[in-house]
Structure 1
């Protein structure tokens, strides 16, 4: 009997020894040139942004602890990363929500430095969306896991979990404990820091002192093609599509990215037969050397809009001039003046002479209300050749112009100040300029190549046109 027990013990030792050897052998075979990001006992190479939650490092494990009445807090790398493969282990209290920021930023002009960017969600709740992708401080949910039960089941409560993230170009893929979780194609942000989030708890004292832990954070930035994994998931593509959150919030695509449906020439009953090009989901106006409307001419929506929020991504070429007009009526005064309306100016301020003109100094610069109100000089405009995001909000005559998620001007249509500006501008000769109750949205052909995509609109539910 004793011999059998001894034999079993010896077998157990041999199995354990064999497993240990196999594990070490496996690690030795991993020649992946990882760069480890967490030091053994300090946060060198990292900094804290946002709130006042605390972080400490012991034996290579970062522990974040909640603090009451403070915003989301982030321990972020001082170094920025663009394309990379990243892996990390984490453990979270079952009552907490957290996340890992990738390609994220904190910029002084964006909500006073608020951390924003892609977040790989850590979600121990019954919803179980760990590994989903959330756009912190911006668009909210981009990929969710309600249709990915395998990934939902992969999360381990109150245990260490493992994430893998591949961010290559506009593609972001995630895995949780080896199970594919998300596959996103989105080009909002190409570079940023990596961050470890301690979520705000407000004044919920029952969540005070809760902890999130991370370890073994490692990254690859070179020769990435050698180490990429295949994902069986269908990608979520945001290019000319609505995000999960936008669908919930009532947004609609104003251009489908493929056809001319919903648009026509400003002076035509159909879309121009030349002068505009659709290629790879991008709508571009032809370059005619600055000769305005000699090719296709301006294009307008086939519907009118009153109260609305409009989003348009645009990209200019050197010296380009264009614009997004709103409250346009092309059914009156056909021909001369038929494309008149309030205009969100699109311009290469550095190389186009219009930047120095206007009824008010600077009122023809990028993002300005053309010839009337100059946009904030500190506007965060991306360089020529890169995409920018324009947003126009017009609700109950209150109008705002935004560029890359930052508001750069606002005004009240029909106010005494507005009417005075119009009377002193080139628009003084147009009766009731800018005061239409509703009108079309126009993309301008000014003879320079300018490209557009991701054209979306939201109409308030209480006043649908």
Structure 2
């Protein structure tokens, strides 16, 4: 009997080994030491105990990273993590540290590990570079995947420009971005500034990676998890399948004209390297090239636009525009997603209670993040930011960098009351047209646009 049991166990071990070898997984961390890693940036404490990599928070030091000496391009990474309440952490991937760039500061993609009330664990943050690429604001199921106070199982799939994450088998992120194709993997101990967090720990174990036969090993995408793409002026297969189309092709003026012209302006706008820019003319509204509008009208739609502000700049994305309403000086009339340097442009302090700040429904509703105390998630001047406008019948939403900042019903009594106390009072049925043009504003300051895409409902 004993011999039979031993033979059975041997066969089981051989079988397990064969499956593991066939799947081509390798352990990234051997559970014994850190010979395959190097510590970067901060001086938080890392140690190996009971086959676990343990990082301990340390007051007054910058973000610390235990990084692989080897770099990885396409891969599937899995690990288990435990983090004490109050700590923020993450796992870097396709990340870089170059002495000539920010004095060697680690930058690149990070899969979030956190215990905060906003519940963005599993989202993708671009450390020291582009900020949040995939917060979980549009994925409520993913927000509940992470279990505080427990070991959590993470999976990261980075294949080509596709980046997907799971926690405990629940998909969190579905990102498309091609900024970096290869880099190291690193385990972060975040900087802390609260003495009560001193000495708290984050632990990782069972860290394994797969770099071959990836396509056949990928998990099925949850259709309820939205894909967010940052590809420049191109659509993914998923976007095309769901009805998206480019509203600007990245090369020509097709589909656009001057708001007060029957053709595209001959001056004041520039197309260069896949970027559409309104040029500076000293801050005068619609005095240079003037606003541009689509040649088609839209009713129910989802619009996404990447925009970049120069210092002190003012512009806007307008919708439900009737270009016949204002033939005189100034901009064409329509609902406006405000684009503004809140810190430097005086318009931010005009209007009422901040209703002219970036992301706001201009002069009517102030942009604010009601899901978190961390502000509007604006990425700053001279950085690319994303505007998303969703219109379904009367319901309208403004999203700034994937965070909802404005929501209203354009046919409601509340909306009409807001209009009556705004600069738009003199325009009949303002914001309530059945359809209208989409507009990019010339307010006399240089502002750039790309990735202008739309789908209609």
1:140 equivalent to 2:174? Answer yes
How far the C-alpha of 1:407 sits from its partner, in A, is 0.3
How far the C-alpha of 1:310 sits from its partner, in A, is 0.5
Specify whether residues 336 and 109 from structure 1 end up closer, same or farther in structure 2 by C-alpha distance, changes over 3 A only: farther
Q: Provide the rounded CA distance (Å) in 2 between the counterparts of 1:297 and 1:416.
A: 33
Aligned CA-pair RMSD:
3.9
Aligned to 2:368: 376
How far the C-alpha of 1:112 sits from its partner, in A, is 2.8
Aligned to 1:29: none
| 1:402-424 alpha-carbon deviations (Å, 9 max, x no partner) | 11110011000010000000001
Q: Aligned residues, how many?
A: 310
1:385 equivalent to 2:382? Answer yes
User: 1:311–1:391: 8 Å Cα contact kept in structure 2?
Assistant: yes
Specify whether residues 111 and 396 from structure 1 end up closer, same or farther in structure 2 by C-alpha distance, changes over 3 A only: farther
Specify whether residues 132 and 423 from structure 1 end up closer, same or farther in structure 2 by C-alpha distance, changes over 3 A only: closer
How far the C-alpha of 1:248 sits from its partner, in A, is 2.5
Structure 1 counterpart of 2:305, from 308, 312, 318? 312
Q: Provide the rounded CA distance (Å) in 2 between the counterparts of 1:308 and 1:417.
A: 22
Q: Provide the rounded CA distance (Å) in 2 between the counterparts of 1:392 and 1:343.
A: 10
Aligned to 2:111: 104
Aligned to 2:268: 275
How far the C-alpha of 1:238 sits from its partner, in A, is 1.6
How far the C-alpha of 1:77 sits from its partner, in A, is 5.9
Specify whether residues 130 and 252 from structure 1 end up closer, same or farther in structure 2 by C-alpha distance, changes over 3 A only: closer
Aligned to 2:438: 441
Aligned to 1:84: 96
Specify whether residues 248 and 81 from structure 1 end up closer, same or farther in structure 2 by C-alpha distance, changes over 3 A only: same
How far the C-alpha of 1:361 sits from its partner, in A, is 1.6
How far the C-alpha of 1:242 sits from its partner, in A, is 1.2
Q: Provide the rounded CA distance (Å) in 1 between the counterparts of 2:357 and 2:432.
A: 23
Aligned to 1:42: 52
How far the C-alpha of 1:245 sits from its partner, in A, is 2.5
Structure 1 counterpart of 2:180, from 171, 174, 181? 171
How far the C-alpha of 1:117 sits from its partner, in A, is 2.2
1:171 partner SS: coil
Q: Provide the rounded CA distance (Å) in 1 between the counterparts of 2:350 and 2:385.
A: 23
After superposition, where does 1:58-97 map in structure 2 within 5 Å? 78=90, 83-84=95-96
Q: Provide the rounded CA distance (Å) in 2 between the counterparts of 1:292 and 1:130.
A: 45
1:395 equivalent to 2:392? Answer yes
How far the C-alpha of 1:42 sits from its partner, in A, is 1.8
| 1:270-311 alpha-carbon deviations (Å, 9 max, x no partner) | 111110011111111111110112211000011100000110
1:288 partner SS: coil
User: 1:109–1:380: 8 Å Cα contact kept in structure 2?
Assistant: no
Aligned to 1:362: 354
The gaps in structure 1 that reach 5 residues or longer are: 1-32, 48-61, 67-74, 86-100, 124-128, 144-168, 175-190, 196-211, 218-235, 461-465
How far the C-alpha of 1:138 sits from its partner, in A, is 7.5
User: 1:103–1:194: 8 Å Cα contact kept in structure 2?
Assistant: no
TM-score computed with the length of structure 1 as normaliser: 0.58
1:113 partner SS: coil
User: 2:325–2:332: 8 Å Cα contact kept in structure 1?
Assistant: no
How far the C-alpha of 1:130 sits from its partner, in A, is 7.1
Aligned to 1:116: 123
Aligned to 2:255: 262
User: 2:257–2:295: 8 Å Cα contact kept in structure 1?
Assistant: yes
Structure 1 counterpart of 2:318, from 301, 306, 325? 325
1:313 partner SS: strand
How far the C-alpha of 1:78 sits from its partner, in A, is 4.9
User: 2:300–2:391: 8 Å Cα contact kept in structure 1?
Assistant: yes
Q: Provide the rounded CA distance (Å) in 1 between the counterparts of 2:246 and 2:38.
A: 43
How far the C-alpha of 1:83 sits from its partner, in A, is 3.5
1:314 partner SS: strand
User: 1:266–1:297: 8 Å Cα contact kept in structure 2?
Assistant: yes
User: 2:79–2:155: 8 Å Cα contact kept in structure 1?
Assistant: no
Q: Provide the rounded CA distance (Å) in 2 between the counterparts of 1:406 and 1:110.
A: 15
Structure 2 counterpart of 1:253, from 239, 246, 255? 246
| 1:119-143 alpha-carbon deviations (Å, 9 max, x no partner) | 99778xxxxx977833447772649
Specify whether residues 375 and 404 from structure 1 end up closer, same or farther in structure 2 by C-alpha distance, changes over 3 A only: same
Specify whether residues 259 and 276 from structure 1 end up closer, same or farther in structure 2 by C-alpha distance, changes over 3 A only: same
Q: Provide the rounded CA distance (Å) in 1 between the counterparts of 2:117 and 2:383.
A: 19
User: 2:122–2:172: 8 Å Cα contact kept in structure 1?
Assistant: no
After superposition, where does 1:119-268 map in structure 2 within 5 Å? 133-136=162-165, 140=174, 142=176, 170-173=179-182, 213-215=206-208, 238-268=231-261
Q: Provide the rounded CA distance (Å) in 2 between the counterparts of 1:108 and 1:293.
A: 47
User: 2:78–2:155: 8 Å Cα contact kept in structure 1?
Assistant: no
| 1:152-175 alpha-carbon deviations (Å, 9 max, x no partner) | xxxxxxxxxxxxxxxxx923159x
